[in-house]
């Protein structure tokens, strides 16, 4: 591991490596502050479980529409470099967006006491975090391009490890902080991470792009790749040379190296400022990107699996916030214990990843996903036992049941998420991998958000509220039944697809 980090340091530089790890660590460490937000909604604002879950669903909605503003921001950064730099300035902007809301919430008590102010600031914070995620993903993609491509897997593994480590630290410290610190101090403490991230942006050197904007090559390459052609730079620049017949004939008769072709193309590319305004170039870039993205997504081999993963979230009501209320108000579980539960959950997630890679990845996806949902249905029985108080009759403590359920559910959920990542990578056509993969992730996130809305609606219909959990057992049983619905829809998943990347 240490040797791998040294190799990555040599390849990418310490500053870049530090920034990537810090951003992913912060994503995992969010459990430190969002646990405090949960208690703020429950204890200070006195919201019902359904209202609290609604606030969370709205606040995390920016992660569900990440491609819409994320890809637009990438085109904007390509078209309009700030001081000759395409990525770092936009990373600074997104970091400020994620930093300022926590500072306001920590300093201004009235914003913490208003549900609307709190929800708006939390949504803005998630918007900044999601934008930063888009930009850093683009930076990673650019960093591993060409000669550094062999480090792509190692860099991604380090990113996930950083996020998992952040999750463990955030969960451990979150429970302690809630017991010993005021909520405003917790918000201000967490704001130090985006502040450090903001400072770290200045440590990363990005090559100056001058007045360069998005070239015709970047616009047309997606279209060429979608047609399945392995076009080189000579073919990509053919549109530019239609008006110069002699140059094209000369190019056909000469056999140049790839490096020579790149140099020639760069010299022949007309200045983007001539003939077309910058807004027009941006509009055309967005139009081409949207067209190619829609054309790719309409293909049945892409649309059907993504429909399944979306429906797998939507058809199962998410009652996690309701269970949080039940655990804290009825079972009287302490904040420090719930922090430990989240740590166990992160350990279960890593264990699930290891188990999948060792034993399940060669299995057919349909079978993996069917077994996963059957396993999730079995784990729902833990909640049924907990809410019905059956565990008390058998001498099993509430804490033991909650700990086991958390570890196993996160591990089993990873059996569904890992195939999603693998299948998404297999389905992405060359040339628009990054954009389409971001869309897949957002569909997954959006499905989770809709599932939370469905759970909030179910809790409201059943009149489950703070201090009134009479119908919670019925809600859990409905959730248990709905867990089998995605199994019926598995015909949408390619029959021969396996859990290993091709």
pLDDT digits (tens, 9 = 90+) for 414-430: 788 777 776 766 666 66
Residue 247 lies in a domain: no
User: Please, which residues have CB within 8 angstroms of residue 397's CB and are 6 or more apart in sequence?
Assistant: 391
DSSP string for 110-134: HHHH-HHHHHHHHHHHHHHHHHHHH
In a domain, 237, yes or no: no
Whole-Å CA distances, 237 to 21, 219, 287: 37, 11, 19
Q: CA angle at residue 341 from 476 to 404, to 5 degrees?
A: 60
* Calpha distance 54→122 (Å, rounded): 13
Q: What crossing angle do the helices spanning 2-12 and 14-29 adopt, rounded to 10°?
A: 120
Residue 437 in any domain: the answer is yes
Q: Is the pLDDT of residue 266 over 70?
A: no
- Confidence class of residue 344 from pLDDT cuts 50, 70 and 90? confident
pLDDT of residue 207: 64
Residue 220 pLDDT exceeds 50: no
Q: How far apart are the first and last CA of the chain?
A: 26
Residue 209, CB-side half-sphere exposure with 13 Å CA sphere? 19
Write the Ramachandran bin of 389: left for phi over 0, alpha for psi from -120 to 50, otherwise beta: left
Residue 338 and residue 192 share a domain: no
- Asked if 324 and 446 sit in the same domain, the reply is yes
Position 277 in a domain: no
Question: 77, 173, 58: which is closest to 121 by C-alpha?
Answer: 58
pLDDT tier at 22, thresholds 50, 70, 90? very high
- Over residues 305-338, the pLDDT tens digits come to 889 999 999 999 999 889 999 998 899 988 888 8
Q: Is the dihedral of CA 76, 82, 88, 89 positive or negative?
A: negative
Q: Is the pLDDT of residue 120 over 50?
A: yes
Mean pLDDT of 219-238: 38
Looking from the CA of 278 toward its CB, the CA atoms found within 13 Å total: 10
Does the pLDDT value for residue 118 go beyond 80? yes
Distance of CA 343 to the CA centre of its chain: 20
Average pLDDT, the chain: 77
> What is the extent of the structural domain holding 487?
299-502
Summarised one tens digit per residue, pLDDT across range 30-50 is 989 998 899 899 888 988 888
The CATH number assigned to the domain holding 28 equals: 1.20.1250.20
- Quote the pLDDT of residue 152: 57
Cβ–Cβ under 8 Å, residues 309 and 447: yes
> What is the model's pLDDT at position 398?
92
My answer on whether 203 and 310 are in the same domain is no
Whether 308 and 187 map to the same domain: the answer is: no
Predicted local distance difference test score (pLDDT) of residue 256: 43
Asked if residues 67 and 439 have their Cβ atoms less than 8 Å apart, the reply is yes
pLDDT (tens digit, 9 = 90+) per residue, 64-80?
776 666 555 555 555 56
One domain, residues 328 and 207: no
Residue-wise pLDDT tens digits, 159-179: 777 888 898 899 888 888 888
Could you tell me the pLDDT band of residue 237, with boundaries at 50, 70 and 90? very low
- Rounded Cα–Cα distance for residues 414 and 74 (Å): 30
The answer to whether residue 251 is domain-embedded is: no
Is there a contact between 150 and 10 (Cβ–Cβ < 8 Å)? Answer: no
Nearest to 69 by CA among 218, 284, 226, 286: 286
Q: For residues 499 and 325, what is the distance between their CA atoms, to the nearest angstrom? A: 36
Note the pLDDT of residue 271. 43
Output the pLDDT for position 78. Answer: 56
Shortest CA distance to 342 belongs to which of 417, 402, 415?
A: 402
Residue 262 pLDDT > 80: no
User: How many domains is the chain partitioned into structurally?
Assistant: 2
Final residue belonging to a domain, choices 213, 231, 263: 213
Same domain, 308 and 204: no
- Would residue 263 count as lying in a domain? no
Domain end marker among 174, 196, 213: 213
Identify whether 161 is part of a domain.
yes
Q: By mean pLDDT, which of 45-54, 249-258, 441-450 is the weakest?
A: 249-258
Are 70 and 438 in contact by the 8 Å Cβ rule? The answer is: yes
Written in H, E and C, the secondary structure of 423-469 is: HHHHHCCCCCHHHHHHHHHHHHHHHHHHHHHHHHHHHHHCCCECCEC
What percentage of residues in the chain have a pLDDT greater than 90? 28
Task: Please give the Cα distance from 91 to 128 (Å, whole number).
Answer: 9
Instruction: Show which of 183, 198, 213 is a domain's final residue.
Output: 213
Query: Which residues, 6 or more positions from 327, have their beta carbon under 8 angstroms from its beta carbon?
Result: 333, 338, 402
Burial class (CB in 10 A: 0-12, 13-18, 19+), 402: buried
């Amino acid at each position: 591991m240490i040797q791998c980090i040294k190799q990555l340091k040599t390849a990418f530089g310490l500053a870049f490596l530090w920034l990537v790890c810090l951003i992913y660590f912060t994503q995992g460490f969010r459990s430190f502050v969002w646990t405090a937000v949960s208690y703020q909604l429950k204890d200070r604002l006195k919201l019902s479980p359904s209202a609290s879950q609604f606030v969370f669903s709205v606040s995390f909605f920016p992660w569900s529409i990440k491609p819409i503003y994320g890809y637009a921001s990438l085109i904007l950064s390509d078209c309009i470099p700030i001081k000759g730099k395409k990525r770092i300035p936009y990373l600074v902007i997104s970091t400020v967006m994620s930093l300022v809301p926590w500072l306001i919430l920590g300093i201004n008590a009235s914003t913490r006491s208003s549900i609307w102010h709190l929800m708006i600031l939390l949504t803005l914070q998630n918007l900044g975090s999601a934008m930063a995620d888009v930009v850093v993903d683009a930076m990673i993609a650019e960093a591993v391009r060409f000669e550094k491509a062999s480090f792509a897997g190692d860099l991604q593994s380090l990113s996930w490890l950083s996020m998992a480590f952040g999750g463990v630290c955030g969960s451990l410290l979150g429970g302690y902080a809630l017991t010993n610190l005021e909520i405003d101090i917790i918000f201000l403490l967490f704001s130090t991470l985006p502040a450090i991230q903001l400072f770290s942006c200045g440590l990363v050197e990005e090559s100056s792009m001058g007045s360069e904007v998005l070239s015709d090559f970047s616009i047309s390459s997606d279209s060429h790749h979608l047609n399945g052609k392995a076009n080189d730079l000579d073919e990509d620049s053919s549109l530019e040379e239609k008006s110069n017949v002699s140059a094209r004939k000369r190019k056909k008769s000469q056999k140049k190296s790839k490096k020579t072709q790149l140099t020639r193309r760069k010299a022949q590319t007309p200045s983007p400022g001539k003939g077309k305004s910058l807004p027009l170039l941006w509009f055309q870039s967005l139009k081409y990107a949207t067209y190619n993205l829609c054309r790719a997504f309409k293909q049945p081999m892409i649309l059907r699996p993504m429909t399944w993963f979306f429906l797998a979230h939507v058809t199962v009501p998410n009652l996690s916030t309701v269970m949080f209320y039940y655990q804290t108000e009825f079972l009287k579980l302490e904040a420090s214990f719930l922090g430990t539960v989240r740590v166990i959950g992160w350990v279960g997630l890593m264990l699930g990843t290891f188990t999948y890679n060792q034993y399940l990845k060669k299995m057919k996806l349909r079978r993996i996903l069917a077994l996963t949902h059957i396993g999730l249905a079995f784990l729902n029985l833990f909640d049924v036992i907990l809410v019905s108080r059956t565990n008390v009759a058998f001498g099993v403590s509430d804490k033991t049941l909650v700990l086991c359920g958390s570890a196993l559910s996160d591990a089993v959920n990873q059996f569904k998420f890992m195939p999603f990542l693998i299948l998404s990578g297999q389905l992405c056509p060359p040339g628009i991998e990054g954009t389409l993969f971001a869309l897949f992730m957002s569909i997954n996130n959006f499905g989770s958000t809709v599932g939370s809305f469905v759970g909030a609606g179910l809790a409201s219909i059943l009149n489950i509220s703070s201090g009134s959990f009479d119908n919670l057992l019925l809600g859990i049983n409905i959730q248990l039944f709905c867990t089998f619905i995605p199994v019926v829809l598995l015909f949408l998943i390619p029959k021969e697809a396996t859990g290993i990347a091709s």
